[in-house]
Every structure is written in structure tokens, then in C-alpha cells.
Amino acid sequence: MIPVPGFDGARVGVLGLGRSGLAAARALAAGGAVPVCWDDGEAARAAAEAEGFEIADLGRERAWEAGLALLCVSPGIPALYPAPHKAVEQAWAHGVPVDNDVGLLFRALADEDFDSFDEPPRVVCITGSNGKSTTTALIGHILEAAGTPAQVGGNIGLGVLGFEPFHDGEVLVLELSSYQIELARTLAPDVAVFLNLSDDHLDRHGGRGGYFAAKARLFEAGAPERAVIGMDEPEGRFLADRVRGRGGEDDGVIGLSLTRKLPGEAWAVTARKGFLAETRKGKQVASVDLRELATLKGAHNHQNACAAWAACRALGLAPRAIEAALKTFPGLPHRLELVAQKDGVAFVNDSKATNADAAEKALLAWPRVRWIAGGVPKAGGIAPLVPLFDRVACAYLIGEAAEAFAKTLGDTPHVMCGDLETAVARAAADAQPGEAVLLSPACASFDQFKSFEHRGDAFRALARRAAGLSDLQEDPA
């Protein structure tokens, strides 16, 4: 873990005791602080108490009587919208600063003595509405394949304070959600990546503007040495304009695009018709054919590849090393994950597609699908996907969103299935050679599952059963 400095002997509140919260409590204790922990869930409190942590309801005045130096809030807990948690209100009332584990990581980095290091660690942070996890994992894979030590975490994998102690020359690769960025008091990435923006988490941020502002903090408060920015949306172009002029080579920006050349960019990475191209000062310096990369299928993954390429180039890696690593990337679970094949039918786990924009990417990746959708609906539902309904042989609807999705689907064939097991069985029975049975829910999972991972694992097991594969068998394809 990364010990958090600066709180020796001080009591520090830790609100939320999931993966990141428990890691924060351990890291604070390792740095000499006395964590005072709370979670609204009894099981989480019991787990923290079993580790010896003090438990106190931080939403009550009594917990603050002995004084707290800081309140560390886990990302899933609202600090402002739609309403601040009672513990956050208490911190404000007592004049106690509120931070999170990301802020504490950068505090630890700033406090570390790197004089004995030949090359101090560098930090790459990735944000955006869709593609963060794939891009983060891909950067980590490229670095490791090129012989550069790397640790990957944040919104994916390890909580950031669960990293191993810093090593000479390594790179920390952090996926950061808007929840994590908005509250961090310190942000100081060497390279920051902004992929895209679509409507998501709007209640948490008070609307689209607040959502974008949360992500933009990574570039404005963090002032990265190099900003990798998707230019296909106005928010990205706005952000690039804000970053430019801070000095440094090429105005500090590497532009990304899937739709057009970026002739005005001093440094750009684009992907058009399946070919990635890197240009600097108007001259092409590298090109890669992405079309045969099975784990980076679809235009959205081509953007992820561009972003990872740009970030690794900003870190000094050579084009040949990056290209070789792209070809060996294993892909991520739950994101266009091919879990089984039978009689020309592909079974694809895209459980991480929790909004319409993410589901759009999956529908574009397969020409004809048996689409399993539904769960806890997001704002706007699946209305943005109407132009893609001609790709849907039939939709199999589950969860709370089923009735609303059925109305939007209209004349597009659809079946009310209720649960995932029924949907997979019906879709597998109906599917024809050349089609994909695609779980891409465009919804959160919490009506029937603990997480999108839980939902994806359930789909994988059901799909493999439908394809006649045991848990121990390899897919014959």
C-alpha cells in the first residue's frame, strides 16, 4: 500500500468502506493516522471493525467531538448532488477539509523523496464517459510489454492507495471517474487523457455541465505536462483550447479523432477506415492497421487505441513497441468480450455498457444482433439508438427498463424476458449463423445484480452453457 503522510497521530474520517475506502483506511493507518470509519452498510462496517478500525457514525455530531483532521470520502458517496451525505455536512459544519483517495495519492507522491531514484514515477490519468477501462488496461499492457514497470488501478482494479510502494522509473496508470476527480484536492498527472463525453451520472453532477466540469478538473487543477484529448465533440475542443498556451512542446496537446484529419494540430493521432495514423507538425510519423485486432473491435475501440498510443508516445515509447503490444492485448472482461461461439453464433458480453452511448458502440461492432438489454434505466433510455434498430434481429428485455425499452423499440421485434437467464435461453434458441447474442444493457445493473461485473459473469456462464461448453473447456473457436 501507499502510506499517506501528514496525519501522524491525527484522527481522520473515512466514509465508505468498499474497495477504495478500506484501502484508504489502511494507507492512512500506515502513515500514522487514526482512521475513524463509517459505511451505511452493516457488512462493510463489520469487515472494517474486524481489521481493528474504529467505527463511528460520521453523520452524527458525536463522532466529531474528539476532532477530525480530514474526511476521506469514497467515490460512490455524493458530496454535493443530488444531496450531500450527512457526514459531508458535518465536515463542512466543523471546518474540516473533504478529500478522497485520489487526492491522498497525489499528496503522497508530492511528499515522497525521489532523490535516490534515477527516474521518478510518472502518472497517467484517463477519464471520459466511455472507453476508460479499456484505454487504461491497454496503456498498462503496452508499458509492461515494452519493459516499463507499471501499476494499473483507480476506477479499475486496485484502489489507488492499494498500490505497491513507488518504484524507480515506473508509471502509475489511473482510470478516474468523474466521481473521483470532482473531490480530489490534489491532482498532478504527468499525462491526462480525455476520451469523450455523453450524458451519464447527471443527477450526481447537477446536469451535463457539472458532469463535464468534474472531468475538466483533471486538466485545469492538474495542469498535466501532456494532455491527450478527443476532438470529435465540442467539450473536447473546448478543453483543448483551455489547455493550450501553458507552454511546452506542441502546446501540450495531442489531439484524437475518428472523424477527420486534424490539420491544425501540431501532434495528433487519428483512426479513419481502420487505420491509426500519428502526425506531428503535419507529417505522418506512424501508421497501424487496426482492423485485424480482435480485442479492439469497433470504432470506439479504435479511439481507445489512439488514446493509448498517444499516451504511450507522450511517455517516450517507440511506435514499433506500441504496435507490437496492440497485437497481444487480451481485451477486458465485460467489454465486447467474446465468451463463446456455436454454429456461427457469437456470444458477446458487453455488460459494462451501462448507458446508451456505450451500447451504441456494441451495436455498431456487429452487423446483426440478438440484443439483451435492460436493467436500471439511465436518463434518455435507448432513444438515441433508434437509428441502429435495423441491426437488431430481436431484443430480449430484462429488468426495470423493459417496458420503457419496449415502447421505444416499437415495431422492432422484441420479447419481454424479465431476467437474464430467460433472455439468454431465448436469444440462443433464436440466433442464426452470422448473428451475435449480445448483452449490452444500456442500463445499470442494480435491480437484479450487485454490479455490472456480477451481471457479466452471469451472462458468461449462461452463454457458455448455451454453447455447450463447461466452465473448464476452452471455446473451440
- DSSP one-letter string for 62-102: GGGTT--SEEEE-TTS-SSSS---HHHHHHHHTT--EE-HH
Relative to beta strand 171-175, strand 191-194 is unpaired
Helix (H) or strand (E) holding 285: strand 283-289
Distance CA 298, CA 388 (A): 15
DSSP 281: T
Rounded to 5°, the CA angle 467-385-296 comes to 55
Closest C-alpha to 363, from 340, 339, 381, 386:
386
The reply, when asked if residue 129 is annotated as ligand binding, is yes
| 133 marked among binding-site residues | yes
Query: How many whole angstroms from its chain centre is CA 46?
Result: 28
Q: Is 132 annotated as a binding residue?
A: yes
d(CA 293, CA 473): 24
Give the residue among 163, 162, 187, 171 at the shortest CA–CA distance from 121: 171
Q: Rounded to 5 degrees, what angle do the CA atoms 444, 450, 451 make?
A: 50
Is 130 part of any known ligand binding site? yes
- Residue 201's region, left for phi above 0, alpha for psi from -120 to 50, else beta, is left
Question: Which DSSP symbol is given to 390?
Answer: G
Q: Are 250 and 266 in contact (CB under 8 A)?
A: yes
Alpha carbons 148 and 122: distance in angstroms, whole number: 11
Rounded (5°) CA angle 243-249-250: 65
Contacts of 15 (CB under 8 A, 6+ apart): 21, 38, 39, 58, 71, 72, 73, 74, 77, 85, 87, 88
Closest CA to 303 of 327, 335, 272, 348: 272
Question: Any binding-site annotation on 418?
Answer: no
Q: Determine contact, residues 412/388, Cβ cutoff 8 Å.
A: no
Cα(302)–Cα(270) distance, rounded to whole angstroms? 9
Binding-site residue numbers for ATP are 128-134
Residues of each annotated binding site? 128-134
